[in-house]
Amino acid sequence: MDKLSVMNAFCRIVERGSFARAADDLGVSPALLSREVKLLEESLGASLLSRSTRSMALTESGRVFYDEALRIVSAVGQVEDRIRKGAGEVGGHLKINAPSSFGQTAIAPLLPGFLRAHPKLRLTLSLDDRVVDMIEGGFDLSIRIRPTMPDSTLIARKIGIVRQRIFASPDYAARNGTPERPEALASHPIIGFLLADHLTQWSLIGPGGVIDMTLDPAVRVGNSLVLRDLLVAGEGIGTLPDFISRAEEAKGTLVRVLPDYELPAPSIFAVTGSRVGLEARASAFIDHLRDGLQRGHS
pLDDT tens digit sequence for 192-228: 999 888 999 999 999 989 999 999 999 999 999 999 9
**What digits encode the pLDDT tens for the residues 94-117?**
999 999 999 999 999 999 999 998
Q: Residue 151's pLDDT is what?
A: 61
Q: Specify the length of the chain in residues.
A: 298
Q: What is the pLDDT of residue 87?
A: 46
Q: What does the alpha-carbon distance between residue 24 and residue 13 come to, in Å, rounded to a whole number?
A: 10
66-80 burial, b at 16+ Cβ within 10 Å, e below that, comes to: beebbeebeeeeeeb
Topology (CATH) of 92-162+266-297: D-Maltodextrin-Binding Protein; domain 2 (3.40.190)
Domain-wise residue ranges, the chain = 3-85, 92-162+266-297, 164-256
Instruction: For 92-131, give one letter per residue: b (16+ CB within 10 A) or e.
Output: eebbbbbbbbbbbbbbeebbeebeeebeebeeebbbebee
Does the fold of domain 164-256 match that of domain 3-85?
A: no
Architecture of 3-85 per CATH? Orthogonal Bundle (1.10)
Question: The domain at 164-256 falls in which architecture?
Answer: 3-Layer(aba) Sandwich (3.40)
The Cα–Cα gap between 33 and 198 comes to: 31
Whether the CB-CB separation of 246 and 102 falls below 8 Å is answered with no
In this prediction, residue 30 carries a pLDDT of 86
pLDDT at 245: 96
pLDDT score for 33: 86
Q: Residue 18's pLDDT is what?
A: 84
pLDDT of 89 = 64
Ranges in the chain, pLDDT < 70: 1, 53, 78-89, 151-153, 274-278, 297-298
